[in-house]
Structure 1
Amino acid sequence: MDGHLKRVGMDVSRWRVLAILHEHDRAPISHIADLAVIRISTMTKLIYRMESEDLISTAVSESDGRVTEVKLTDKGRQIFADVRSIASLIFERAFHDFEDTEIQSLLAASRKIYHNLY
C-alpha cells in the first residue's frame, strides 16, 4: 500500500488520518491517535503538518478547552476521494479470492491480537 500511496504524494499515516476523519466529522487528536494506533505525540506532529498542507483544520473544542478537534477541509475531502479509489483497487486485488467468512475470521483474529497487545 505504501508504495502505491507514495506515487500520488500520500503515505499510510496521512491516509489513516483522512480515512478516520471521513468516518468521523470531527475528532479529538487523542481519538484519532487511538484509532490509527499511533502515539499522541507523533499524531500531534502529523496533524499540524497536515494542517499546513490544508488537508485538515484544527480548533479548540467548545466543550473542553484542553481538547483540540480536527476536521477535514474541502481539499482533504478531495484528496481522500482520489486516494480512496487507488486504495479500493489495492484492497480488491488483495482480497479478490477470499470468502466473506475468511475476511471475518481475519478481522476477528486481528482484533484479538490488538487487544492482547493493548
Structure 2
Amino acid sequence: MTSRDKKLEKYLPSSASFQIDEFPFYWVAKLNALYSREMEKTLKPLNMDISRWRVAMLLRVHGDLSIKDITEHALAKLPTITKIVYKMRDEGLVDVQPSELDGRVSIVSLTEQGRDKVEQVRQQTHHLFTEAFSGMTETQINRSTALLKKYFENLSEVE
C-alpha cells in the first residue's frame, strides 16, 4: 500500500480508519437533505415541489426538451418524469407536442404561465442561495462545483 493509499483510507467506509466527518458523500447527503427541506418549505406556498421546479428550470435553461432529455438532465426515471410533465401540462405550466422530426418523441416547453411560475420561484428562493453562498468567494464556489462535477464523472464511469 502506497503512502497516498494510506492517506485516502479515512475516506473509505470499508477502512478501519474511516472518518465520517471527512467523507464527502456524508456532506453531500446532508446538504441535499437540507436543501430539499428548505426548498420544499419555500415552494409549497407557490403550489410547486422540487420535481416540478427541476423540470421547469431545465426547460428555462435549455429551452424545449424531449421527455427523454429531461430524464437525462434530471437523472430520473422516464416514467417518473413523464408523470411530472403531464401533471405540469394539466396545471398549464408546460405544453407537450409531438416532435416535428419524430412523432414518437414528445417535446416539452414552458407555457407563459410556466415561465411566470419559474420567475415567482426564482424570486422566492433567492434568499436560500444567497445564504448558501454567504461568506464564500467566487473561487470557492467554482472550486466546489468543479469537485462535485469530478465526483459525478468518476461515479458515472462505474458499471
The residue aligned with 1:87 is: 125
The residue aligned with 2:78 is: 40
Gaps of 5+ in 1: none
Coordinate RMSD, CA, aligned: 1.2
The residue aligned with 1:66 is: 104
- Bigger drift between 53-62 and 33-42 goes to 33-42
Instruction: Give, in whole Å, the separation in 2 of the partners of 1:69 and 1:18.
Output: 13
Q: Cα 1:117–1:41, aligned 2, differ >3 Å: closer, same or farther?
A: farther
How many aligned positions are there?
118
Q: SS of the counterpart of 1:47?
A: helix
The residue aligned with 2:143 is: 105
The residue aligned with 1:25 is: 63
Instruction: Give, in whole Å, the separation in 2 of the partners of 1:116 and 1:53.
Output: 38
Extract structure 1 runs of 4+ deviating beyond 4 A. none
Normalization by structure 1: what TM-score? Answer: 0.93
Deviations 1:35-56 (A, max 9, x none): 1221111101110111000100
Pairing 1:78–2:112 present: no
By how many angstroms is 1:93 displaced? Answer: 1.0
Normalization by structure 2: what TM-score? Answer: 0.70
Gaps of 5+ in 2: 1-38
Q: How much identity, in percent, do the aligned residues show?
A: 37
- Of structures 1 and 2, the larger Rg is shown by 2
